[in-house]
Amino acid sequence: MSASVLNRPTAPAPRAKKRKLRNSPTGVDWLILALAVIGAVAIAFPFLLILINSFKSPEDYATGGPLALPTALYFDGITTFWERVNFPQKLWNSIWISGSVAFLAVLISLLNAFAIGIGRVRGRTWVIVAFLFANLLPQEALLYPLYFMFKELGLYNNPWSVVIIFTVIQSAFGTYLLSSVFGTFPKEILEASALDGASRWTTLWRVIVPISRPTLSVLVIFFFIWTWNEFLIPLTFLVSNENQTVPVAISVLQGDRLMDVTTTSASALLGVIPTLIFFLIFQRTLTRGITAGAVK
Amino acid sequence: MASVPFVREARRRSASPAEISAFPDRGSNQAGWWLYLIPGLLLLTFIVIIPLLWNVYLSFTEYRGIKPPEFIGLANWIELAGDKDFWASFRNTIAMIIAMVLVPTGLGLLIAAVLFDIIGKKFGGRAASFLRATYYLPQILPVVIAGIVIGWILRPQNGALNEILESIGLGAFAHNWLGSPDTALLSVMGVLVWVQLGYPVVIFMAALQRVDPELYEAAELDGAGWFARFRAITLGQIRPEVFVVTLTTTIAALKVFGPIYVLTRGGPGSSTLVPSYYAYSEFFQSQQVGYGATIATALTLLIGVVAVFFIRAQTSVERKERAGL
């Protein structure tokens, strides 16, 4: 796999370099390296299995077994599944649903965090606790009432129901994170803006948003991927074929009698590929985001 | 799995009074800030607060989704207390915690320390980052897709694992991994360990970068071995990250749904049933909405208790530390 993208270190480690000169690896170190590599191969092994078996015919699989490389490249598994689920349509559903959620949830988080972190409204601790709680809740505890509400509104089996629900769930996390970021926003900049006579609204869009752009873009990417990966609510709300997202469409066909062994493998591969692409595109942002989230 | 990176609130610089906004526009009133909260709070009310309360109400009703709910008091809760499947689902939750919290956190600590301390320092940072990215790979998948990948390998007929076992002469061990009560839960746990491991590895490696290397050097001079240094310095220094990882993954383990749905649907019997799947199947398969709402409410309460417990444990440790200094 594309090693050059994956192995870029996230943070420079100048001290580690200095030490490297001092210590050369001993026998034990090589043994530990070997164990770590074996572990990594074990983790990557399922991906390799899926990859080689998606390009085999079922007969090839039956004779050569799962470990052999395909005797001839066979694309029927992938094309069968691709056409059967109308994969481009599912991709587009996932893209626009996740994209809308990412954009709307960041917008809502921004407005909330502006009032909490910069405006410091009275009772803001409770407001933050409410948003945090919304993020911790199991979705099952909202599922049936939401199902009922959206049915009454005529939005059941409509992707917008999923967009609205995840906008709220993701913005609950975004509010929590951005409020703490804005809580330490440089005071001098805000004072300068006020002295220039800028209103709150102008300051938010002309001063705070441009300065916070890196954090906001991390949030957009996270919300996009989290929404892409969601399962329970899309499964419940998007029942008809043409509305389903990629994970839902792939999972509902598992165990179908018409899915032979290599077609099933191909279906898993098609589920893996989009997220692998996101990972390669956003690798640096994601690693920075994941680690910054915990270390801050 | 989309584990939520958890951010502790930054310590506020205490110079400015608490109730005055950081944006000093004189003349405008403080209450005006609430305007910005209106859209967020309205959405939160309609999508989270009302459904949540509604769900709690439904737990006191008999409701099959067609006729209006009928109030039956505590009957669902009493039934729940004696429901074998419900308790089985909670026992399985403990298995989920082992597979998603204990094993990944323990192994993750060891792997992160080894990658950072030994491989990073003796074989170079590129080797360590490459291995880290590989361990992280399953984390990028939607968890249902991860379930489907492993489910494909564990297929009972012509599944890859059974075929491999047969080809190396261990055909006697071939098994219906997900379909038999003795291995279904273990197989699901294996999938979850595979999925979760990368998360603590990445977080702990980042944490280790912030530990002062002089601490290690001093300990080394004092003759402390690698393990002693790991225990005395590493564990102590990166405890905040360990806390974050255990809190977020414990909550994720309590909520786990997708892998169960694609791998076993809670079966065979109730051997892999978890509360969230149980609630889902009561809602939409058995049409026992009131009872499903009871399970979902019980799960919510449990998650609340766990979160409060964790946060209190963390603050009390921090307080002790400050007193000790």
B181 touching A, CB under 8 A?
no
Of A24, A141, A177, the CB nearest to B7: A177
Q: Domain extents for chain A?
A: 86-252
pTM: 0.84
Per-residue model confidence (pLDDT) at position A113: 92
Provide the pLDDT for residue A17: 46
Q: What does the longest C-alpha to C-alpha distance in chain B come to?
A: 83
Residues 60-99 of B with CB under 8 A from A: none
Torsion angle defined by CA atoms of residues B231, B232, B234 and B240, in that order, rounded to the nearest 10 degrees:
100
Q: Is the dihedral of CA B249, B252, B253, B258 positive or negative?
A: negative
Q: Which chain B residues touch A172 with a CB distance below 8 Å? A: 44, 48
Who among A40, A145, A228 is closest to B131 (CB)? A40
What percent of chain A has a predicted confidence (pLDDT) above 90? 31
Q: How confident is the model at residue A290 (pLDDT cuts 50, 70, 90)?
A: low
CA–CA separation, A144 and B85 (whole Å): 21
User: Average of pLDDT values for A224-234?
Assistant: 91
How far, in Å, CA of A41 to CA of A48, rounded? 10
Contact B151, B262 (CB under 8 A): yes
Q: What average pLDDT does this structure show over B272-292?
A: 91
- Give residues 118 to 177 of B whose Cβ lies within 8 Å of A: 118-131, 133-135, 137-138, 140-145, 148-153, 155, 158, 160, 163-164, 167
pLDDT digits (tens, 9 = 90+) for B96-153: 999 999 999 999 999 998 888 888 888 888 888 889 888 988 988 888 888 888 888 8
Q: What angle do CA A261, A267, A273 make, to 5 degrees?
A: 135
B245 contact residues in A (CB cutoff 8 A): 294
Least Cα distance to B258 among A159, A229, A246 occurs for A229
pLDDT at B215: 83
pLDDT score of A124: 85
Segment A248-265, tens digit of pLDDT: 988 888 777 777 888 888
Q: For residue B181, give the nearest of B260, B271, B262, B259 by alpha carbon.
A: B271
In this predicted complex, what is the ipTM? 0.82
Domains of chain B: 60-146+179-324 (1.10.3720.10)
Contact A8 B129 (CB under 8 A): yes
Residues 6+ apart with CB under 8 A from A49: A66, A67, A265, B153, B160
How does residue A293 score in pLDDT terms, banded at 50, 70 and 90? low
pLDDT tens-place string over residues B209-250:
878 888 888 888 888 787 888 888 888 888 888 888 998 899
Contact B296 A141 (CB under 8 A): yes
Question: What's the burial of B316, exposed, middle or buried (CB within 10 Å: 0-12/13-18/19+)?
Answer: exposed
Whether residue B131 and residue A247 make contact (CB cut-off 8 A), yes or no, is: no
Distance CA B225, CA B213 (A): 15
A240 CB burial (10 A radius; 0-12, 13-18, 19+): exposed
- Choose the weakest-confidence range: A136-145, A219-228, B236-245: B236-245
Does A242 or A69 have the greater pLDDT score? Answer: A242
What tens digit of pLDDT does each residue of A13-67 get?
A: 444 444 444 567 788 888 889 999 999 999 998 888 888 888 888 888 877 778 7
User: pLDDT digits over B72-91, tens only?
Assistant: 888 889 988 888 999 999 99
- Determine contact, residues A213/B125, Cβ cutoff 8 Å: no
> Would you tell me which CATH number, out of the four given (1.10.3720.10, 3.40.190.10, 2.60.40.10, 1.10.275.30), belongs to the domain A86-252?
1.10.3720.10
